[in-house]
Amino acid sequence: MHSYRFVIAAGLLMLSATARAGADEAPGDRLGVDFDQRHPVSVGRITPASPRAYFVKNVSDAAACPADSEVCRLKAYLIPGNLALLAKTFGTYTCAVYESADAQKVRWTGGWLPSASLAPVTRAPALARADWIGEWIHASGHITIASAADDRLAIKGEAFYDAAQNVHTGVIDAVAKPAQGLLAFADDGSIAFDNPKAECLVRMQRIDALLVVEDNNDCGGIMVTFTGFYRRK
């Protein structure tokens, strides 16, 4: 099984294939959120009890971190209601990455957050097709979902990454059927999601008014990813 990771660097969320397993990552370090073919990404919401949930540093940044101290605290913080993608935990902290669905530019923030500041958000196990249908937009692209035959949905999307010399692009064009609150497909939807020959893997879920998308970083050019929080146009 492939291993993929959403990696935070230079303030951006970058999805890259990695040969390094999570076990090679120091327990007190977080490099991002893994894409797992077997499990959809987890989403958490900052609770009202946390007016400001500050991100904190890795143990490799400072030996005493992550911890609730000035030396560990970063400037970035989240406020009640913010949604974040969640990864592993370490002690009383959870690795999280965040971007506003209203952002005009791709600008992800990541780090350790106090687990007590996060409440898990669960998707609805069954959704009407109307809950998926529409044009969904993100700072780096867009996805259109429409009705198709046999209770399936037609998904078309395009994503962009502004490189130094040119723009890298990615495209998805598939037909798939939602199941258990998820819309997951491989390539054009004609092969199984767990098919070892699949290249582009995409999984979607509805959280609040948003479409939460994750992919395996193999749906376009270098650094191109559809991963993110999408809002209806």
User: In this model, does residue 32 exceed pLDDT 80?
Assistant: no
| End-to-end CA separation in angstroms for the chain | 35
Query: With the CA atoms of 55, 79, 44 and 27 taken in that order, what torsion angle do they form, in degrees rounded to the nearest 10?
Result: 10
**1 or 103: whose pLDDT is higher?**
103
At 199, the pLDDT band (50, 70, 90 cuts) reads very high
Cα angle, residue 207 at apex, residues 185 and 15 outer, rounded to 5°? 55
In whole angstroms, give the CA distance from residue 211 to residue 205: 6
Kindly report, residue by residue over 89-140, the tens digit of the pLDDT: 999 999 999 999 998 888 899 999 999 999 999 988 889 999 999 999 999 9
Question: What are phi and psi for residue 75, nearest 5 degrees?
Answer: -75, -30
Task: Please give the CATH architecture assigned to the domain spanning 4-121.
Answer: Roll (2.30)
Residues of the chain with CATH 2.30.30.40: 4-121
- 3-class state of residue 117 by DSSP: helix
In whole angstroms, give the CA distance from residue 177 to residue 162: 32
In whole angstroms, give the CA distance from residue 158 to residue 168: 11
The burial class, CB within 10 Å (0-12 / 13-18 / 19+), for 161 is buried
Q: What pLDDT score was predicted for residue 30?
A: 72
